Amino acid sequence: MRLLTGRQLIWLLGLVGPCVALAALFVGSTNISPLVIFYIQANAQDWIILQEIRLPRVLLSMLAGIVLAMSGAVLQGLFRNPLADPSLIGASAGASTGASLAILLGSTLTIGSGLAGLSVVAMGAFIGSSLAVWLVYRLSAGPRGTSVSTMLLVGIAISALAAALNNLMGFVADNEMLRRMSLWQMGNLDLADWNRVKLGSVMLIAFVLLLYRQAISLNAMLLGESEAHHLGVPVEALKRRLILVTALGVGVCTAMVGTIAFVGLIVPHLVRLISGPDHRTLLPASGLLGGVLLMLADSLARVVIAPAELPVGVITALLGVPFFILLLRQHSFVNVRD
């Protein structure tokens, strides 16, 4: 029994999202009155905090949540596996290794404005993510096409290799480098700025348009690859296209905000339980819920130990693990076709 239809859930999240974003603007180590919006009790410092720190951070958390949640929904449908998320194709592990290598090399320079002023660490994360996914795809491709089960196994192997490389780099790094690696791998949004928001917005528009066009094909894939092929779906081309798009999206997202766990795994599960598996509504609803969830997690990260901040990846993991265990106990691996 579905609690809401897909369209009802999308409308509900469309109303909740702006309210959460607005509330997140006034949450943090510095208390700012909502009356600032109406130029009441306003001062220059409050406006600087809102415009240059809080607003970019809220927008970037929303963009990252949308990309991660939609990527998880796509991969779960493509692999017909409710445990699939971007980490299974090596994207997150590769990004972590690329970022750690950039930190170890000691580069704190920035690339020029043509790349939105992203740091070398962020560019290393993007390159690492892309390389890891490319390796996973190439190693799992065979003369009869790409095996989903082989791809998952290769993804686990590449992730294990990336973890070993991270441990090796952590062993030779000094204390400052090791701290930077750890903070980046836990995910954080304290480097959010308008350049990153602009890059994330452009990426998000292309990402959503490309993925939503594949919703009907993903619905056919839930029946099985042979059935989808008989329905006219170019299965191998669809796999390549979706893996490439999700890898690029997760790579850019991880480069901007670090590694954030469980959003791509939990959110599609929850949406599927509420409104069903139809990807025409599952994809946009997952994106909206992912954005809301990450905005809430970032707001919580800013106030739990204020004036210090927790990495947002810690919050998503602390919330995600017990929630996921509860889902498994109650529903025993909800099938992506239910």
The dihedral formed by the CA atoms of 52, 57, 58 and 62, expressed in degrees to the nearest 10: 140
| pLDDT reported for residue 108 | 45
State the Cα–Cα distance between residues 309 and 306, nearest whole angstrom: 6
Report phi then psi at 22, rounded to 5.
Answer: -65, -45
- Residue 59 Cα distances to 24, 31, 165, 224, 333, angstroms: 10, 19, 33, 37, 33
Q: Would you tell me the crossing angle of helices 263-275 and 55-79 to the nearest 10 degrees?
A: 70
For residues 183 and 206, what is the distance between their CA atoms, to the nearest angstrom?
29
Is the Cβ–Cβ distance between 181 and 166 less than 8 Å? yes
Burial 205-233 (b: 16+ CB within 10 A, else e): eebbebbeebbebbbbbbeebeebeeeeb
Stretches where the chain sits below pLDDT 50 are: 107-117, 333
Q: What is the pLDDT of residue 13?
A: 93
For 6-331, the fitting CATH number among 1.10.3470.10, 3.40.50.300, 3.40.50.1010, 1.10.620.20 is 1.10.3470.10
pLDDT of amino acid 112: 41
Could you tell me the pTM of the whole model?
0.88
